[in-house]
Structure 1
Amino acid sequence: MSTKIEWTTETWNPVTGCTQLSAGCANCYAKTIALQMQKNGVRKYMNGFTVTMHEYTLNMPRLLREPSFIFVCSMSDLFHKDVPFEFIDKVMAVIRSTPRHTYQILTKRAERMAEYFATRAIPANVWLGVTVEVPSVKYRIDCLRNLPASIRFLSCEPLVEDLGELDLTNIDWVIVGGEHAINARPMKEEWVLSIKEQAEKQGALFFFKQWGSIGSDGVYRSVERNGSELQGKTYKAMTTVNRHTLFG
């Protein structure tokens, strides 16, 4: 369950698999990993990238003794239409039973997330986020801002277009990152700076994750070589909850 994702400490995948929905899905890292796992004979990925529920994994967070930040469904989307609300209820039951952990749930299916929580309380130890990678999906922010989660966040990754003007009312945290893929699309510095400036003006914390496979100079390199500096500085602001701060 441990992970290299900088803004969390663990991942938990009670669901794997997904289907393409918007522009950010074109070079999906999770699909690439899942198909490789299937090829390698890993039991959990015997269905490849077909949406699959793994009920046997539900107990995993209970086995983590230390308070952790847990990214839910890094290899799927919990609110995919093929995941029944009844199964999501089971996931939420585990979340409620482990208040020592903080769960980060990120989705592209903002409307279905809103539908689910319209009749259910959001656990206090859940952060809700939506992916916003192109202007045409900014409506997801409106779905998110109206949900009474303890923390609401945006993941603008992979950022493949200029998002333009953003209304960040009731948004606590904004993550930005470039695409990591063989066929990666470039992310322009001015797009990132625009989001950073808007976040600062509207009181949201800003986290710049990485340039991805194409650097600020437009050159294709490894993600490590391209790094995460924005005009010579790093921006890794983390939001807080009442109990603790991530990595702090």
Structure 2
Amino acid sequence: MATNSKIEWTKRTWNPILGCSIISPGCHNCYAMTMARRLKAMALADLAAGKEPGRKRHYIDVIGPDGRWNGKLVLVPEALPDPLGWKTPQTIFVNSMSDLFHENMAVEDIRKMCEVMAKGDWHVYQVLTKRADRLRELLSGALREFAELPHIWWGTSVENRRHGLPRIDHLRQTPAAVRFLSVEPLLEDLGPLDLTGIHWVIVGGESGTRARPMEADWARAIRDQCVQAGVSFFFKQYSGRHVKAAGRELDGVTWDEMPGAPGELVTLGIR
């Protein structure tokens, strides 16, 4: 449930919660659902062979017969303390295989994760959700004591204007030390953005065999607005089946900015 990550903007993933459900167009080609389907099949194969599947067994509960998320969320208790055992400070993407603020996630279980993050304060935790309304509600209320810890970054996903722009507004109204946007997959031109209160923007196209196209001008428009607003900008990838082949340069520049101290831009893995 915890792995070194190939995601360019983080170092490691931590998944003590598994499961999700499709909520908007950005979910339609969900890489996590594809991976969960594969892990479920591996777990079932282990069981059929009389082997213990380990943590993979939890994926059996969250993927339905149709191979899609079934809306169930599962807490993996043995995965909760993982970050406390990682002594080297690093950036950690929290719940890459779920959504911490999913409507079916119990507040007490979210609290358990927040308590681990608060205790393991030598790491930076990157929490990303499509349920920014619930993020705002809980960090303004029941989980207020965790909201503004400087080593916990709270973010929301933005794929288009209809679903993404309201999420930005919810995030802006959320008490936090660092707020960030993951604009991936970028499915259309987002137009003018209000980046007030936003500290970091990641932009990327969709990858895989069914990748929907992203025009470079859409990414350029976001980059230009970030530069104008003094917001850290990270360009992750273009769209397509083989995104690595296209490289990560946008107009000849590799944009790897990350939020740091006020007025400071830091590169990945350096605080």
Q: TM-score, normalised by structure 2?
A: 0.85
What is the alpha-carbon distance in structure 1 between the residues aligned to residue 7 and residue 42 of structure 2? 23
Q: Distance in 2 between matches of 1:201 and 1:153?
A: 16
Q: Do structure 1's residue 118 and structure 2's residue 140 form an aligned pair? A: yes
2:103 to 81, 84, 88: 81
Match of 2:27 among 25, 28, 40: 25
Question: How many residues are paired up?
Answer: 240
Question: Counterpart of 1:185?
Answer: 212
For 1:234, the equivalent position in structure 2 comes to 254
Partner-residue secondary structure (3-state), 1:153: strand
Matched, 1:7 2:34: no
Cα RMSD for the two superposed structures: 1.5
The CA deviation at 1:114 is 0.8
Structure 1 residue 245: Cα displacement: 5.9
Identical counterparts, % of pairs:
45
Alpha carbons 2:184, 2:205 under 8 Å: kept: yes
Equivalent in 21, 28, 43 of residue 57 of structure 2: 43
Displacement over 6 Å in runs of 4+: none
Note the 1:116-195 alignment, pairs <5 A. Answer: 116-119=138-141, 120-121=144-145, 122=147, 123-137=149-163, 138-195=165-222
Give, in whole Å, the separation in 1 of the partners of 2:110 and 2:15.
12
**Structure 1 CA distance for aligned equivalents of residues 102 and 119 of structure 2:** 24
| In 2, Cα distance between equivalents of 1:233 and 1:117 | 36
Unaligned runs of 5+ in 2: 44-55, 64-68
> Which string of whole-angstrom CA distances, capped at 9 and with x for unpartnered residues, describes residues 167-216 of structure 1?
00011111000001211100001111110111111111111000131xxx
Bigger Cα displacement from structure 2, 225-234 vs 167-176 = 225-234
- Select 1:54's aligned residue among 49, 71, 76: 76
Match of residue 208 from structure 1: 235
State the TM-score, normalizing by the size of structure 1: 0.92
Contact kept in structure 2, 1:150 and 1:241, CA below 8 Å: no
* Equivalent position of 2:268 in the other structure: 246
Structure 1, gaps ≥5 residues long: 214-220
